[in-house]
Chain A
Amino acid sequence: MSDALSNDHDASDMSGGDDGQEDVMTPSELIGKLEEAWLNEKFSPELLENKSERVECVMEQLTHMEANLQRVRKGDMKASVHRMEIDRIRYVLSSYLRSRLKKIEKFFPHVLEKEKSRAEGDTSFLSPEEFAFAKEYLANTETYLKAVALKHMPPNLQTVDMLKAVPEPCLDSFVFLRVRARQENILVEPETDDQREYVVDLDEGSQHLMRYRTIAPLVSSGAVQLI
């Protein structure tokens, strides 16, 4: 369906951002990548790396499509098909951003801690706007708890350690995945004491159900896709 886009658009190349981290992509590749990021984020128990360049590109794309739609002759069959496509893309994008926001809110002290302690060159997990949102959420919640209860408590109990109080993401939850690039010698840690660790090879195209922790680095590298 996304091929219908390329016929109507002037700009069929989408070069992401100014740092050129993403290669020049066609619109359908861009949407494909958005869907991958969307699924990964939806099924992963923890917050994944932020893909704000992709988000920006998709938004540009949507604006472009809306503008094109205005120019199409009214009542033309193509208009409704394009309209549906715009709505679908907007849904995927919104759902992706909502997944991220939900996780940021759910794990806010840990997310902020992770961001604070990351090294200079590492990619950020939060976009600047998400970071601001997370900080505001923390401040808002702390202010609230203090005002309603904590300030009325005995002096030694007036603070709550958010890192301890808010649960961490459960990295041992099981996820379904499809393998994109063959992986060898993946070490699977034992779950119980009477199991022993073992090693698996993941064949390209195969699908598995595994603990997230085992394959977390493969998700960020793109070697597997969560489904």
Chain B
Amino acid sequence: MFCEKAIEIIRELHRMGDGQLPAFNEDGIRQVLEEMKALYEQNQSDVNEAKSEGKSELIPTIKFRHCCLLRNQRCVTAYLYDRLLRIRALRWEYGSVLPTNIRFHMCAEELEWFNQYKKSLATFMRSLGGEEGLDITQDMKPPKSLYIEVRCLKDHGEFEIDDGTIILLKKNSQHFLPRWKCEQLIRQGVLEHIMS
């Protein structure tokens, strides 16, 4: 039956919940496009026949094929658009550099879309306020406490906090530090916030 492949690729995407991005189903898309090409060509020849030989009984078939074409177009665009939404979410979760295993699941055009999206977002954030802008991909949660428990992931040497005390950041050491001092280091991957 027509449009089955189109539904199948959507179902496959739908099955991966939680915003995960499965590999780009290039094969599936290609099959749907081929089906569309075949339907269209059949319609073309039928339309010509109906016009030249007045065979109006072909018209219901033509209409039916046209509906299948529209459905295929709709399914394909829905599949692609849903993937874009998932990719967009990745920028907000992982930052501007995507992990390699996720990048493998994206086709070239999706990577291009991601790059453009990153650029647009960066331009927008830079334009906020007067000078350097505001990174709105940070501060995702309301600040709850002044001090947080952190674990050191790599050796970072000495670290001075506001009251003058110097902390030695050695790998695997744990500290109770002011949150604002740690944010930069957490983002860099030097410290890890421990949530109890």
Binding site for B on A (CB under 8 A): 55-56, 59-60, 62-63, 74-75, 79-80, 83-84, 87-88, 90-91, 93-95, 97-98, 101, 105, 129-130, 132-133, 136-137, 140-141, 143-145, 147-150, 152-154, 157, 160, 165
Contacts and interface: CB of A to CB of B under 8 A. Distances in A.
18 contacts: A55-B128, A74-B162, A75-B164, A79-B162, A88-B143, A90-B139, A91-B141, A91-B142, A95-B139, A97-B136, A133-B124, A140-B113, A141-B84, A145-B80, A149-B29, A149-B80, A150-B77, A157-B73
Contacts of B113: 140-141, 143-144
B130 A63 contact: yes
Contacts of B129: 55-56, 59-60, 62-63
B33 A149 contact: yes
Contacts of A56: 129-130
Interface stretch (B54-62, B95-103, B104-112, B151-159): B104-112
B109 A129 contact: no
Contact of B124 (A84, A129, A150, A153): A129
Interface of B is mostly: helix
B48 interface: no
A136 to B, nearest CB: 4
A91 B139 contact: yes
A87 B36 contact: no
Interface of A is mostly: helix
A133 B125 CA distance: 10
B127 interface: yes
B146 to A, nearest CB: 5
A98 B140 CA distance: 9
Contacts, number: 117
A143 B127 CA distance: 25
Contacts of A93: 134
Given A79-B162, A84-B143, A59 B130 contact: yes
Interface magnitude class on chain B: 35 or more
Interface of B: 29, 33, 36-37, 40, 69-70, 73, 76-77, 80-81, 84, 88, 107, 109-110, 112-113, 116-117, 120-121, 123-124, 127-131, 134, 136, 138-143, 146, 162-164, 178-180
A129 B127 contact: yes
B48 to A, nearest CB: 15
Nearest to B162: A74
Contact of B163 (A74, A84, A130, A157): A74
Contact of B139 (A83, A87, A147): A87
List the 3 closest A-B pairs by CB distance, nearest first.
Answer: A59-B129, A75-B163, A154-B40
A212 to B, nearest CB: 23
Contacts of B163: 74-75
Given A145-B77, A154-B36, A101 B139 contact: no
Given A137-B120, A140-B116, A154 B69 contact: yes
B73 A74 contact: no
Given A83-B146, A93-B134, A94-B139, A153 B73 contact: yes
